[in-house]
Amino acid sequence: MKNKPMEISNLSLVVTDDCNFNCSYCFQKKEKKYMSQSTMEKAIAFFYPYLKKETESIFWGGEPLLAFDNIKYAVNLLQERNKQEKKKIKFYLTTNGSLLSEDKLVFFDRHGFDLMLSFDGLTQDTARKAGSSKRMPGLIKQVRKYPGIVFSVNSVFTPETIGYFSESLRYIIELGVPEIIVSLSSIHPWDQKALDILAKEYERLVEYLFSYYKETGNIPVNDFKIPEGPPRKGFVCLAGQNRMSVTPDEDIWGCYLFHDYLKQKKGSDDYRHYHFGKLDDFIKNHETRYPAVLANYSDLKQDMFFTEREHCFLCRDVEQCSTCPVNAAFSTALIGKIPPWLCDLNRIQRHAKERFLRWTASTPYKSKKKSE
Ligand code: SF4
Ligand code: SF4
């Protein structure tokens, strides 16, 4: 059988493992490691020919803005290399915002960055960094002045902060954020009490979002967007399949999350199983190395995962479920093993979304201008 050629639509450069925050739920092991410009040169020269006509280029950290000069360097390299073929390369960056400044925003605006700000609303000072919430309203206003930046906020909640969930999202929406991605921390277990609070908080959020939608026609929380196209059947992790990631130590993984999880487990079976090798070695041997390691990634499908209660392929929710197997492994210590409370979290989120979509289907938004 012919090997699948490497075709990448998502290339991540982990520009640093360092961070100037110490968020309570962060799963990353911080190290003062920065990707060098020579690693960027090698990585971009090698991977460029394998990038598809439309590609996402992600700058990941730690806090990537600690390496802003190198991000600029990589963007320039990619654009220089892309002068002839003119592939559509879209840049992405997630930041805690502490180092954002006018000159950086001008750069992101010029290059059409998708900029995601990490901001937890009312729990920012306890969960992320004391005093860091003060600057956020002004910063959000400042970012929104740049039309070239696609702006969103990522908000994380834990069993300890979940009581502030709906109020926090409402606060962020009212600051004018057009899109919010909700992340529920999978580092610490969610007990029944926290799950009950989550269910109630989702009810409050759905009520607020519905009235907001009736008023504006907008749905600013990503999970609640009205789906386009036919429903997806069965989740597949795309690590290695169409995405690759390079780290400051020149390790190659199918997704940056493998780096975050496995860099603390060097020598483990999972490390050997999913590691594509070091950059120099991969450049020399990718024709054999890529298909050999990719075969290990191809097992990462929802129906291959399991919990201690059941196998996912026997679960009635398997077709609607999308669980990142690495995210789950931060809690179970095994890629593909899902903690049962993560299933409960997913179900609560899904039921809230179904309820919201039923409401919006029965009361579609009518623009005031049109109906006048
Ligand atoms: S809900 Fe849980 S058991 Fe069911 S498919 Fe999802 S992860 Fe697997
Ligand atoms: S499912 Fe998780 S590991 Fe797989 S590509 Fe997505 S984020 Fe990466």
Please give the pLDDT value at position 371: 43
Please give the pLDDT value at position 369: 54
Please give the pLDDT value at position 361: 87
Select from 232, 237, 302, 337 the residue to mutate for testing ligand 1; criterion: most ligand atoms less than 8 Å from CB: 302
| Structure token digits, residue 244 | 């690759």
Q: Which atom of ligand 2 is nearest to the CA of 255?
A: 8
**Domain ranges in the chain?**
8-224, 300-363
Do the Cβ atoms of 69 and 109 come closer than 8 Å? no
Cis preceding-peptide flag for 112 (omega within 30 of 0): no
| Structure token digits, residue 53 | 């006509």
> Where does residue 267 fall: left (phi above 0), alpha (psi -120 to 50 degrees), or beta otherwise?
left
Closest CA to 208 of 198, 218, 195: 218
Q: Which atom of ligand 1 is nearest to the CA of 305?
A: 8
Nearest protein CA to atom 2 of ligand 1, as residue: 343
Q: What is the pTM of this model?
A: 0.93
N-terminal to C-terminal alpha carbon distance within the chain:
63
User: Which string of DSSP letters, residue by residue, matches 32-68?
Assistant: --B--HHHHHHHHHHHGGGEEEEEEEEEESSSGGGGH
CATH class of 8-224: alpha beta
Please give the pLDDT value at position 364: 73
Nearest protein CA to atom 3 of ligand 1, as residue: 312
Q: How far apart are CA 356 and CA 354, in angstroms?
A: 5
pLDDT in 10s for each residue of the chain, 372 residues:
567 789 999 999 999 999 999 998 888 888 999 999 999 999 999 999 999 999 999 999 999 999 999 999 999 999 999 999 999 999 999 999 999 999 999 999 999 999 999 999 999 999 999 999 999 999 999 999 999 999 999 999 999 999 999 999 999 999 999 999 999 998 889 999 999 999 999 999 999 999 999 999 999 999 998 877 776 677 999 999 999 999 999 999 999 999 999 998 999 999 999 999 999 999 999 999 999 999 999 999 999 999 998 899 999 989 889 999 999 999 999 999 999 999 999 999 999 999 999 999 888 777 655 444
Select from 14, 237, 299, 327 the residue to mutate for testing ligand 2; criterion: most ligand atoms less than 8 Å from CB: 237
Q: Which atom of ligand 1 is nearest to the CA of 307?
A: 3
Please give the pLDDT value at position 28: 86
Nearest protein CA to atom 8 of ligand 2, as residue: 255
298: which DSSP letter?
T
Main-chain dihedrals φ then ψ at residue 254, nearest 5 degrees: -75, -15
H or E element that contains 364: none
Give the up-direction half-sphere exposure of residue 208: CA atoms within 13 A in the CB hemisphere: 18
Q: How far apart are CA 118 and CA 133, in angstroms?
A: 11
Q: How far apart are CA 49 and CA 182, in angstroms?
A: 35
Q: How far apart are CA 180 and CA 322, in angstroms?
A: 19
Ligand 1 pocket, residues with Cβ under 6 angstroms: 302, 305, 307, 310, 312, 315, 317-318, 321, 323, 338, 343, 346
Do the Cβ atoms of 185 and 157 come closer than 8 Å? yes
